[in-house]
């Protein structure tokens, strides 16, 4: 922002972005577009991709698990 008075000693930092959606293809496209748009001033250092479906193959609800295999209540 133009009115910010950032001090160099506290700058040069990090930006975390979470992209979420119902469709993996849409999310992947959104991530690609954001990374391309940020290229002039930022670079990706780390990325973690993950997803889960709240229903099993028969359509019954299932408990989600995070990327570590633990029950995820988020």
pLDDT tens track for 14-67: 778 888 887 778 889 999 999 999 999 888 877 877 776 778 788 888 877 776
Q: Residue 13: its pLDDT value, please?
A: 66
Q: What is the pTM of this model?
A: 0.53
Residue 4 has pLDDT above 70, yes or no: yes
Which has more pLDDT, 68 or 43? 43
Ramachandran angles phi, psi of 16, nearest 5°: -105, 135
Q: Dihedral through CA 42, CA 1, CA 3, CA 11, nearest 10?
A: -30
Question: Is residue 11 over pLDDT 70?
Answer: no
């Amino acid at each position: 922002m133009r009115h910010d008075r950032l001090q160099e000693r506290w700058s040069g930092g990090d930006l975390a972005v979470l992209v979420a959606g119902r469709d993996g293809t849409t999310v992947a496209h959104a991530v690609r577009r954001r990374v391309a748009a940020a290229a002039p001033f930022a670079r990706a250092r780390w990325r973690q991709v993950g997803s889960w479906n709240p229903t099993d193959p028969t359509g019954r609800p299932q408990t989600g698990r995070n990327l570590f295999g633990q029950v995820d209540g988020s």
